[in-house]
Amino acid sequence: MKTRGFEIAKGYENQDINLPVRKTKYSAGYDIEAAEDIVVPSFKKGMAPTFIPTGLKAYMASDEVLYLYNRSSNPKKKGLILANSVGVVDSDYYGNIDNDGHIMFAFYNIKEEDITIKKGEAIGQGVFSKYFVVDDDVSEGERIGGFGSTNKV
């Protein structure tokens, strides 16, 4: 029986995507790599973040979440900051009809020059965690799509 983990997302099956690993036995985060070469342009006012595909999806228990964090070295070395500070991947994102639950990192580049991320380069980390709901929770909605679909009915 599968409890939680990573799988290759549809469309990335034969593209040499590495499943995330922890580098030490006490690390909380699984290092996640870029699925392709991509340029993150230097930030200009009003521009959208650059989404870096990972080629991954994550499965977990219904009361768990996968948090996506930046690498601690990214802001100083590469000027990369997460557009949403922390990414939240809900359990029902897995296998959705829009994008199969494909995980992407949304970055801004605060350096003056464009930054190139290479396929296989570690870009962030994922941490699985349990979450709790309040006593009077009445949530009954179901996800019908992929990225940004939580409020769509």
Domain ranges of the chain: 5-130
Amino acid of residue 40: V
Backbone angles phi, psi at 76, to 5 degrees: -75, -50
Q: Is the pLDDT of residue 153 over 50?
A: no
Q: Which CATH architecture best describes the domain 5-130?
A: Distorted Sandwich (2.70)
Note the pTM of the prediction, 2 decimals.
0.90
Cα 130–chain centre separation: 17
pLDDT at position 138: 85
Question: Which positions ≥6 away from 148 have C-beta within 8 Å?
Answer: none
- Environment class of 125 (CB within 10 Å of its CB; exposed 0-12, middle 13-18, buried 19+): buried
> For 67-75, what is the mean pLDDT?
96
